[in-house]
Chain A
Amino acid sequence: MSRVLLVEDNEMNRDMLSRRLRKKGFEVDMALDGAQGVEMARGGSYDIVLMDMSLPVIDGWEATRQLRAAPETQTIPIIALTAHAMSGDRDKAMDAGCSDYDTKPVEIDRLLLKMNTLLGVA
């Protein structure tokens, strides 16, 4: 079973996405802000990180950079999630070290496809 770390400050988003992912068979842990996300990612062996980009304490961009800078987390796939959906966001996410990028509202099938591709199960 793949382990997912969902980093998301919005309570409804967390609730909704975690429930949907669990239904699809993922084990989901949640962090409420960027700093907590980085800490949890370093401590646990996650297969993939879903990272909201607008986060308190440290935002998703910075959290991603920190994960990429640390040897124990630099290879974990990270999917950036953002509701901004600006044209430059995808490049920005990739530059920050994200493995892929998706927008909110989340289309679950599209997201699952991206996750499974990165997890090598597709």
Chain B
Amino acid sequence: MTEVGEQAQLRTLSADEVATLRHDMRTPVNHIVGYCELLLEDAEGPDHAARRERLEESLRAVRDALEMINASLSPGGRDVTQRDVDALYDRLREPHARIMESMAALLAPQDHATVDEEFSADVRKIRNATEQLVAAKRSASIEPAATLEREVPATETISSEGRGTILIVDDEPNNRAVLERHLERQGYTVVSAGDGAKALEIVQRASCDVVLLDVRMPGMDGREVLRRIKQDPATRDIPVVMISAADDLSTIAACIEAGADDFLPKPFDQVILRARVGASIEKKRLRNLEVDYLRQVERVAEAATAVERGVYAAGSLAQVAERGDALGRLARVFDSMAVGVKAREQRLQDHVTNLRREMDEAKRSAAATGDTQEPDDGALIPGELFANRYQITRVVGRGGMGMVYKARDRELAEDVAIKTLRSNAMSDDPTVVERFKTEIRLARRISHRNVVRTHDLGEHDGAYYVTMEYVEGITVRELIDMRGHLSVPSTLGIAQQLAASLEVAHGQGVIHRDIKPQNMLLDPDGVLKVMDFGIARLAQHTSTLTQAGMVIGTPAYMAPEQLLAEEVDARSDLYAVGVVLYECLTGTLPFEGASPIALIAKVLHTVPVSPAERDGSVPLPLSGLVMRLLDKEPDGRPGTAGELRELLAELG
């Protein structure tokens, strides 16, 4: 024996351990005595003489065993060492053998007797109890009483109101019983399984806090059970404590590598058992808190998605908002912001509905007056195949830089809009052309409901063309022309959508440079689609002043710094928004001149009459915002499209 082994042998058991052992050994004795006496009472008459003799012999044997137990483990007696316990087990072998022999005789088939099932069942119970009396010698203290597995009710979850729920997996009934008893005394809820398959079934069905898992089991062994528990996302957070012989270090190491959280050496030591189970329970508790926290973070993220999709329900974060920590605060703030956003969106929706009504009225009056488009000269003819790919459907617009057609993309079988760019409208400076291409590439990335999607840039017969999403609708230009001017809600509907489109484009590094009502489409639902992002980049900068009218249309929408060919940024687009809104509200431009030069002079030097002054029905805050947008100095305007969108939202 090793030195360590010798020390273990001389270890004195605590009073608690002795009491437990005493209890655990007397339990099978109780069963043996009880069943023997029970059967004896029934075994009356001459037919049962042999049966009586066997039962009486068994009773004598078990009483001998009880005396041995009482002598070795008497309450208040001398110290008991592990060696004493081992010696007791050795002595118990003799009465054990006597009972087993009697039981074997009682179970042997009798030639003349009919099979007495009830009697045989009781004899087997005695035999089991007798086995349990000595079977647990391997563990320091035994509880051979329970042989049944503690099962989880099929339809119920385990109640974990106490300190936690522990699943014991061991093929050895005595080991299970010892652990069950110890852990229940400490207030744990205990379930057990006698093999790996059953353990997996329980662990998936019920919520266990810790699994105590024997390594060596027939069939599916502990390592395989461990592997499966740790592989399943639903169970991998449950701490698993491996039960293993203390000297089997390589197995323990392998299990820890495979995800085991701890191990419990056999024979069980109550102090170690308590400490390891306690630590694992605490680990699980913390992990539960963590999982719960992550789940609630996920809820907040889901709420964000719901806001984006417009399906956020106020108060749906109520549970998270109850938390006293930062996450709870985040949920509360998020909820109130989301509710605000929803209210704003509702207002925008109202504006758009208003806008649509105006569009319908405009269309009706246009139809009544028989307004038709003029025929075009030098344009592509409907039916013509352009660039060997696009079949022209019809002309939908014309501008300073070229024509816009509706066409059928034969490769993708879908309608597109094609904007051809007249070669004489384009810069021949290679740097400018390169910058234009870069900007088109950036514009292609913009994906927003208020932006006409840019598909491709192509070259055909020496001229560039851009293909875009085709939007059925009318331009804001047409709407203003038909209606004279627009109502305040319709203007706000346009303004908010325009600001949203610019916010996204500016965020992608694209400045429009040519915001004007002609570039703003309204689809039949009143959704604004801004087109031509990036295209104005191609304009010949040097000729802006002299040929402005010809090259990029009227300079009426261009900011002073743009007219002066100075540095252009997002705020230049915001100036153009100011002009568009001015025109929507009043039906006139802020500046008008007999010639481009006269107009430019006014843009550069004159302060316009405010919209409210022109039309008393325009609210002062809205009029004031338009005037800020028209500030000659970029610094005097709102700093970004996002800021503009916020300001507009505040106006209703």
Contact = CB atoms under 8 A, between A and B. Distances in A.
B27 A83 contact: yes
Contacts of B31: 12-13, 16
Nearest to A53: B23
B38 to A, nearest CB: 6
Contacts, number: 68
B75 A104 contact: no
A44 interface: no
A17 interface: yes
Interface string A78-116: 000011111100000000000000011111100000000
B34 A20 contact: yes
Bin chain B's interface residue count.
Answer: 20 to 34
B208 interface: no
Interface residues of A, number: 24
Contacts of B30: 13, 83, 104-106
Contacts of A104: 26-27, 29-30
A20 B36 CA distance: 11
15 contacts: A12-B145, A13-B31, A13-B34, A13-B145, A15-B125, A16-B38, A19-B38, A20-B37, A20-B38, A54-B23, A86-B19, A86-B22, A103-B26, A105-B34, A107-B33
A10 interface: yes
Interface of B: 19, 22-24, 26-27, 29-35, 37-38, 41, 66, 75-76, 125, 129, 145-146, 148, 181, 184-185
Nearest to B162: A57
Nearest to A12: B31
A17 B23 contact: no
Interface string A4-45: 000000111101110110010000000000000000000000
Contact of A85 (B26, B35, B148): B26
Contact of B33 (A11, A87, A105): A105
Nearest to B66: A105
Contacts of B145: 10, 12-13
A94 B587 CA distance: 101
B20 to A, nearest CB: 8
A56 B186 CA distance: 11
Given A11-B148, A105-B33, A106-B30, A84 B38 contact: no
A90 to B, nearest CB: 11
A84 B23 contact: yes
Contact of A83 (B26, B125, B184, B185): B26
Contacts of A20: 34, 37-38, 41
* Chain A CB within 10 Å, residue with most, of B22, B38, B125: B38
A80 to B, nearest CB: 14
A63 to B, nearest CB: 15
B125 A105 contact: no
Nearest to B35: A16
B34 A16 contact: yes
A16 B575 CA distance: 97
A39 B41 CA distance: 34
Contacts of B181: 54
Contacts of B32: 105
A74 to B, nearest CB: 27
A87 to B, nearest CB: 5
A11 B151 CA distance: 14
Contacts of A106: 30, 33-34
B37 A85 contact: no
Given A12-B129, A12-B145, A105-B30, A86 B75 contact: yes
A58 to B, nearest CB: 11
A85 B75 contact: yes
B641 to A, nearest CB: 67
A31 B294 CA distance: 43
Contacts of A107: 33
B35 A105 contact: no
Q: Which 7 A-B pairs have the closest CB atoms?
A: A105-B30, A16-B34, A104-B30, A105-B33, A83-B26, A86-B75, A83-B23
